[in-house]
Structure 1
Amino acid sequence: MGSQVSKQVERRKAVHTEKKTLADLKKLGEDYPGSDYHPSDRKNWMSELNPDKLVINKVVWPGTHDSATNKIGIPCITRPFAQCQSLSIYNQLEMGTRVIDIRVQEDRRVCHGILLTYSIDVVIKDVKKFLSETQSEIIIFEVRTEFGHEDPPEFDKYLQDQLGDYLVPQDESIFEKTIAELLPKRVICVWKPRKSPQPQRGSPLWSAGYLRDNWINTDLPSTKFDSNMKHLSEQQPVTSRKYFYRVENTVTPVADNPVLCVKPVTERIHGYARLFINQCFSKGLADRLQVFSSDFIDKDFVDACVGLTRARIEGKA
């Protein structure tokens, strides 16, 4: 018992030290090209930046981690241990989110580990509603079979039937195209099954290798911040690669953590998205940043990504 208590005390000290490290770094400034920009209409921010000039590989895509968890589990009982977003998929898209991360199990219900929420049909309905209300917004829609579960039967056919003419076919040439050149196709759907065959070139769906990341499972904010930077440094510039690379501005509870609810843990890093972009410039890595995701996404996170995107279009970044 004594060793366990000692371990928890050391863990709390480590968290405090790492939070202070980021807070001290933030005091030095978090400006970067485009950091003062705020879109007048987040729901249509891609349209606002001009689809004829906005090249796919120049976009800094604001995304959400475990996107469809706003109603997961049982309120006040199991939900705090798995909820990573408080908004519906539609409200996230309306706020400016453009990368959605969905995990499913065998019966097409969305899940996070063993906890369940609504059917994927609810997600699709929200996506289609958003698409029907906008004209030039492109979405990266990632769907994966959750770890420990089997692939939903014929799920690739389901996605194709549901999203139909919106789907951008798997073709590496799109990375050098503008948004206007993709239209009226508007959904880059990345399907990541665990056992089923991966989508092939020319398919309406994209295979797992086109949306990559290096997940670091930690509750320590500075450790995650530095690890994100290290893995980003190992990537090619966005103009040289033919896949999307994601950095996640999140930390998550781990087994030996005295705090097991998602929100208080992820808040340790939540406010440092702009600092991360600032440090990308300081370290010469800004040309590698592409998909940037967050738990509990908010307007400032969206604006941070959109501002850098605008600066790239204007040749300032």
Structure 2
Amino acid sequence: MFSPSVILTMGAQWSKQIDRQKAVIAEKKILRELQERCGSDYPGSNWHPTDRKNWMFGLDHNKVHINMIVWPGTHNSATNKIGIKMITRPFAQCQSLSIYQQLVCGARVLDIRVEETGKVCHGILTTYSVDVVIEDVKRFVSETKSEIVILEIRTEWGRKDPPEFQKYLWEQLGEMLIHQDDNVFDKTIAEILPRRVICVWKPRVSPEVNVKSPFWNSGYLRDNWIDTDLPATKFESNMKYLSQQQPVMARNYFYRVENTVTPQADNPIVCVKPVTKRIHGYGRLFIAQCFQQNCVNRLQIFSIDFINADFVDACVGLTWAKLEGKA
């Protein structure tokens, strides 16, 4: 027999879970009704690149300035093989494609988390070595002519920095690196070539990257992470924080919006895919709302879990519209 206090505690927890599920249902309805009412059309929404692997080249790299680009990105990019398949992987997997496949699909911003052994991780789970990521980036760069990649590498929270990591990155990427420089934002892709990779290194303990480094420090890639599994809450928070940024033409840093929601420890649904699916299909709606709320000139990096071609096209279409003077 359970004691009265245990029964009360169980009852309170059960009631809390019912309330949470009601909140999820209500917020999914908010986004669904917003889409039905306002639609997801915007300048460039019907434009599609003929070759996603080379979409920057297809936009005329002589005219595309770095601060004009709406960069499709992936959240927790190197988690396609994390943990143990069918056992722990569903709790930490945010992408089903490899790094190379994501880049071929059109992603141009990668979010890589590492720990002291040099393995990629997400929370307590680990996967392959960061060497796999670097080799995929190098392969993609070797196969394309003018695609620029933003490679963000950070030490995962609660972990130690890999030893001599800047030296490792320099040895692997040196000739490809676009060095830290505020003037880069105003340059065209053609003016930056043949360098191809902006590498942002965010250590936990090691000294911050200095201003003369070939690497970019944490101040150059900013975001406002909202940790929630409620889709409308995330959508509205993303819009609020985006609206507080300077227009892209007036700032010397990249700002990221993440079209994701994440499992919460106090909720019974803790697998990533069914949770993030609550907001996954509303990327185009977010862009359309950026136009409606007059902050589309602030949107720059737009990231997602489980990236797909439609999300890439949504970002590339907006970039095309900006280039054509339609946005």
- Normalised by the length of structure 1, the TM-score is 0.99
CA distance in 1, matches of 2:228, 2:199: 28
8 Å CA contact 1:219–1:252 kept in 2: the answer is yes
SS at match of 1:66: coil
2:230 aligns with: 220
> Residue 284 of structure 1 aligns with which residue?
294
Structure 1 equivalent of residue 72 of structure 2 = 62
Question: What's 1:24 paired with?
Answer: 33
Which structure has the larger Rg over C-alpha atoms? 2
Shift of 1:164: 1.3
1:89 is the counterpart of 2:110: no
Distance 1:30 1:202 in 2: 43
Q: Quick one: which amino acid aligns to residue 164 of structure 2?
A: E
Partner of residue 121, structure 1: 131
- Which of 188, 191, 196 lines up with 1:178 in the alignment? 188
Matches within 5 A, 1:226-241: 226-241=236-251
> What is the SS of the residue equivalent to 1:235?
coil
- Per the TM alignment, residue 203 of structure 1 is displaced from its structure 2 partner at its CA by 1.3
C-alpha deviation, 1:255, in angstroms: 1.2
Q: Are 1:198 and 2:197 matched, yes or no?
A: no
Give 2:155's aligned residue. Answer: 145
C-alpha distance in 1 between matches for 2:124 and 2:13:
27
**Is this contact kept in 2: 1:45–1:96, CA < 8 A?**
yes
SS in 2 for 1:101: strand
List, as ranges, runs of 4+ consecutive aligned residues in structure 1 with deviation greater than 6 Å: none
- Equivalent of 1:188, from 198, 202, 221? 198
Q: AA paired with 1:16?
A: I
1:202 to partner: Cα distance: 2.9
TM-score normalised by structure 2 residue count:
0.96
Q: Is the 8 A contact 1:219 1:257 kept in 2?
A: no
Q: 2:307 aligns to what SS in structure 1?
A: coil
- How far the C-alpha of 1:256 sits from its partner, in A, is 1.4
Q: 2:218 aligns with which of 196, 208, 217?
A: 208
Taking the aligned partners of 1:279 and 1:269, their CA distance within structure 2 comes to 14
Contact 1:273–1:301 at 8 Å: present in 2 too? yes
**Cα deviation digits, residues 204-261 of structure 1 (max 9, x gap):** 1000010000000000000000000000011000000000000000000011112000
One-letter identity of the residue aligned with 1:112: H
Alignment of 1:244-283 (within 5 A): 244-283=254-293
SS of 1:27's partner is helix
Q: Of residues 13, 24, 41 in structure 2, which corresponds to 1:15?
A: 24
Q: Within 1, Cα distance between the matches of 2:241 and 2:278?
A: 20
User: Residues 170 and 200 of structure 1 are in contact (CA less than 8 Å); yes or no, is this contact kept in structure 2?
Assistant: no
Q: Which amino acid aligns with 2:326?
A: K
Counterpart-to-counterpart distance in 1, 2:318 and 2:305: 20
Distance 1:94 1:197 in 2: 34
Tell me, what secondary structure is at the counterpart of 2:21?
Answer: helix
Q: Distance in 2 between matches of 1:164 and 1:96?
A: 23
| Amino acid aligned to 2:23 | A
Deviation at 1:150, TM superposition (A): 0.5
The structural deviation recorded for 1:145 is 0.2
Residue number in structure 1 paired with 2:15: 6
Partner of 2:108: 98
Q: 2:314 aligned with 1:304, yes or no?
A: yes
Partner of 2:122: 112
> Counterpart of 1:50?
60
Letter in 2 for 1:23: R
Letter in 2 for 1:266: T
When the two chains are superposed, the root-mean-square deviation of aligned CA atoms in Å is: 0.5
Letter in 2 for 1:9: I
8 Å contact kept, 1:89–1:126: yes
CA distance in 2, matches of 1:297, 1:46: 18
C-alpha displacement of 1:200? 1.6
Contact 1:219 1:254 in 2 (8 A): yes
Gaps in structure 2 of 5+ consecutive residues: 1-9
* Ranges in structure 1 where 5+ consecutive residues have no aligned partner: none
Letter in 1 for 2:159: H
The count of aligned residue pairs is: 317
Structure 1 equivalent of residue 43 of structure 2: 33
The separation in 2 between residues aligned to 1:205 and 1:287, in whole angstroms, is 26
